[in-house]
Amino acid sequence: MKTNLRQFIAALGLFLIMPVHAEDAKTKAEELEAKFKDAMTAVTMSGRWCPLKDGVLGPEKEDKYTIVSVEKSGGDSWVIRARIQYGKLDIVAPIPVQVKWAGDTAVIVVDHMVLPGPGYARNAYSARVLIFENTYAGTWSGGDHGGLMNGVITKDKPASPEPK
């Protein structure tokens, strides 16, 4: 009889605690997502990348990405609005990604994304980029090539008001 009572009390204790932990986990996830959104809104990611082909790293090159905003669209799905400047092209493009979590670290996941434009359509690009304490690091691949990337994330300065 004592064993059954002990089991009942233990089960009741777990039952009463579980909703609290579930609520704590939900709150923690919301906090992480809000922190990620703030960290990746109106920022510039600048650093270096190097190509990787046939297992050989190439020379480092400068890297820069302007992120206008990020928005969660449901579940792990997010949309990153990135400014793309190439030649005469200057647009803000919505980039669908997934954001996974490794503890408190966001990992941006791109899987087999075909980019528009000449030369891109033949390759599907994939990437994993982690975001941690105003830094980023990752790897990407597209067709027969890929690379590594890393750098810092800085907040863009707000535009100054026009003088009167």
65-88 residue pLDDT tens: 999 999 999 999 999 999 987 778
Coil, strand or helix: which one is 114? strand
3-state percent helix, strand, coil for the chain, nearest multiple of 5: 25, 55, 25
Q: Which residue has the tokens 């899987």?
A: 111
The better pLDDT of the pair 87, 62 is held by 62
Class of CATH domain 40-155: mainly beta
Q: Which residue matches tokens 């996974």?
A: 100
Residue 22 has pLDDT above 60, yes or no: no
pTM of the model: 0.77
Domain boundaries, the chain: 40-155
Higher pLDDT, 88 or 121: 88
